[in-house]
Structure 1
Amino acid sequence: MTTDSITGRVGVPVPDLWKGAHRDDRARPRSRQRLLGPSSIGLCRCRAAYEVHGTWPTDLADNMHAAILGTWLHEGILRVLREQYGAWTELELTDGVILGHADAYWAPDHVKLAAEPHRTARPATDVGVVEDVKTKSTRALDVVVRQGPSQAEWFQVHLYAHLLRTGGLKEHPDLPAGEPLPVDVVRLRYVGREYGQVVVQQRAYDEDVTKQALAWAEDVLASAEPEAMPRDLDGPGLSIICDNCPFKTACWSLDRLSDDRAPQTILAEDSAAITEALSAYADAAEVESAAKKRKAKARKTLDAADPGTYGAFKLSWSGDKPRPPEPDPEAMTRILEGLGVDIPMRSGGRTSRTIGVSRVPEAD
């Protein structure tokens, strides 16, 4: 059975799109590189260490459809930036330790090109700009709008700028390879995979951000083994990045879990770690309780408000529709009992575990 839906029976085999797409994705040069990539810096030190030490992935998922769709969309976006706006795209950059591919670069006019490409739309500019393009789900895009780019995303585009500014460009038909190229502005362009929304964030190149990124990378490169690096994300079930990490099983010992316990149980290594987790739980519970009260009051205050835009907020309503009739278990039970028929039963399973955390009063 393939992952493609087939209608009509004419006896002609149908190639499985996604099986082929996953094979193609794993053969891409970026999927096989072993140097530390800018896109991994600032994300999770443990994951980056697995990459640096050449660990074979323990989790090669065959359901990465959204990521592959993002790759295909990404390729089309770069083609538009190249053909319509004169960008140099997919620039291979390295300093021998870090290897990256900058999505798009616009050089200022004073840079001497080896051969002027035929790009009539190349804009005149007196600044150098490097851009990274990211495709996002609508939900992830909303996070960018509300919170801005993550530290790892700023690290990534600043490292592309750093490699360009320090002569890290490899052989190129138009730009001078091995020579410093000016970058004054770094840009992140986010494109929604569902509806094509575009969000752009840009800022002046900041040397301090680059220094932070390089220090993060040096920490990983100096690691004796991946397990020596901390897990910077919350783990499977709590982080979508962990859910899709190619080293998920190795990092979180998923093959040694028992009794349906959460992967995060491996963090409770001793009583000190348990005490720390209890403190975090108690602190969060107190904040959550206060927040729920504020939210409940705000919700009741808004109950009669009309949909619309109010300042920086948009209010909309959904639901409040009649539900279809549904079975009445109590009435069915009464009928069966009245007929003298045994009521069918099934295993009730087990109740969910609940946790109780309270603070121990301080001794006088």
Structure 2
Amino acid sequence: MPSDTLTSTVPIPDLWKAAHRDDRARPRARQQLLGPSSIGLCRRRAAYEVHGTWPTDLADTMHAAILGTWLHEGILRVLEQQYGAFTELELTNGTLLGHADAYWAPASLTGQTSPYGAEVGVVEDLKTKSTRALDMVVRHGPHRHEWFQVHLYAHLLKTGGLAEHPKLPVGEPLPVDVVRLRYVGREYGQVVVHQRPYDQDVADQALAWADDVLASPEPEAMPRDLDGPGLSIICDNCPFKRACWNLDALADDRAPQTILIADGEDLAAALGAYSEAAEIESAAKKRKAKARKVLDAAEPGTYGAFKLSWSGGNPRPPVPDPEAMIRILEGLNLDVPLKSGGRSSRTINVSRLPDTP
């Protein structure tokens, strides 16, 4: 048989179909107890999970998330083998169920000196990010729900929530003094670390948030805490997106957020929010423009709490001149080729009415 015929008849396994099947079979994908990773993000999404709602959006395009899972597993293996971390600890209090990525116990508990010298209890949550998302962490720090998550792992460890383990005592309080968030870039492997002392107030806030969701009679009783499809990447990738935003009943090309207006009072509130935001945006643009002019001659470097760098400013190659082309065609008495201009975008105009006496 010719080699080209042979290769054309040999089936090639579909990597991503298998990867998505494997991902959906993972225990975490099938748990129904509320997980710390869902707390502090969106109450309605968490309520869908608590009430066992079947996902309406199981996309087979979550390649980046699956790559993150594979990278996550390799990093935890290295932290365990090279630095003595206890990894993937199953934690529960009967209503919450989570898996702490890494935990370092003090030597007094294990009888072994920590390979990296820390004599305190440390719990770490590992997150893989795109370059853009990692840049947001660098600029703005961790999100509230990420601090909630790692504090809840610490709280469950401190309150005897370890389900089972061959080396650590089960059902007993384990010391945690420091919580850590480690971010790793999926493209280039950049690492950003934030750590802080364990804060019981943060854990209490997270528990109160969870109690609110657990007490909900149905998912629709919980508010949408994020801005919705097209405005929030979390909503764009939410497994309950269609149910939450009623996308099957969406008319024409209108935005999903239109369902947030039920009556004239909601409409007036939205107009007020738009007008207020426009006023703030206008003032902020003026302040930004002035600051940009002031900084125009500043050299790159670190100044106080800020780092300044410049990009661009390079010469560009010549580009076609459409206006000159039109003049040439008109001078030759040739018709200028045209195509449909389509439809202009809708422009909104909101003005505030004067106060009536």
Q: Offset of 1:60 from its aligned partner?
A: 0.9
Aligned ranges 1:144-293 → 2 under 5 Å: 144-293=137-286
- 1:17-51 CA deviation, whole Å, 9 max, x = no partner? 22222121111111111110000001000000000
Determine whether 1:39 maps to 2:37.
Answer: yes
**What are the ranges of 5 or more consecutive residues in structure 1 without an aligned counterpart?**
1-6
Whole-Å Cα distance in 2 between the matches of residues 79 and 100 of structure 1?
Answer: 19
- 1:284-339 CA deviation, whole Å, 9 max, x = no partner? 11111111112222223334444444442222121543244326266347627855
1:3 is matched with which residue? none
2:311 aligned partner, one-letter code: W
CA distance 1:103–1:352, shift in 2 (3 Å): same
Does the CA contact (< 8 Å) of 1:130 and 1:187 recur in 2?
yes
CA distance 1:318–1:50, shift in 2 (3 Å): same
Does the CA contact (< 8 Å) of 1:278 and 1:357 recur in 2?
yes
- 1:75-124 CA deviation, whole Å, 9 max, x = no partner? 111111100110100000111110000000111222258xx8xxx86455
Does the CA contact (< 8 Å) of 1:186 and 1:202 recur in 2?
yes
Aligned ranges 1:66-145 → 2 under 5 Å: 66-111=64-109, 122-123=115-116, 125-145=118-138
Whole-Å Cα distance in 2 between the matches of residues 218 and 8 of structure 1?
Answer: 62
CA distance 1:90–1:349, shift in 2 (3 Å): same
1:4 is matched with which residue? none
Whole-Å Cα distance in 1 between the matches of residues 329 and 119 of structure 2?
Answer: 84
**What are the ranges of 5 or more consecutive residues in structure 2 without an aligned counterpart?**
none
Whole-Å Cα distance in 2 between the matches of residues 65 and 318 of structure 1?
Answer: 32
Whole-Å Cα distance in 2 between the matches of residues 144 and 262 of structure 1?
Answer: 29
2:128 aligned partner, one-letter code: T
Whole-Å Cα distance in 2 between the matches of residues 36 and 193 of structure 1?
Answer: 27
What's the TM-score, normalizing by structure 1? 0.90
Does the CA contact (< 8 Å) of 1:155 and 1:209 recur in 2?
yes
1:265 aligned partner, one-letter code: T
Whole-Å Cα distance in 2 between the matches of residues 330 and 112 of structure 1?
Answer: 79
Give RMSD over aligned pairs: 2.3
Whole-Å Cα distance in 1 between the matches of residues 176 and 302 of structure 2?
Answer: 39
Whole-Å Cα distance in 1 between the matches of residues 309 and 346 of structure 2?
Answer: 37
Give the number of aligned pairs: 352
Whole-Å Cα distance in 1 between the matches of residues 192 and 328 of structure 2?
Answer: 59
Decide which moves more: 317-326 or 248-257: 317-326
- 1:196-217 CA deviation, whole Å, 9 max, x = no partner? 2222111221111111111111
- 1:329-356 CA deviation, whole Å, 9 max, x = no partner? 6634762785565x55433221110111
Determine whether 1:315 maps to 2:280.
Answer: no
Whole-Å Cα distance in 2 between the matches of residues 340 and 146 of structure 1?
Answer: 54
Decide which moves more: 137-146 or 315-324: 315-324
SS of corresponding position for 1:110: helix
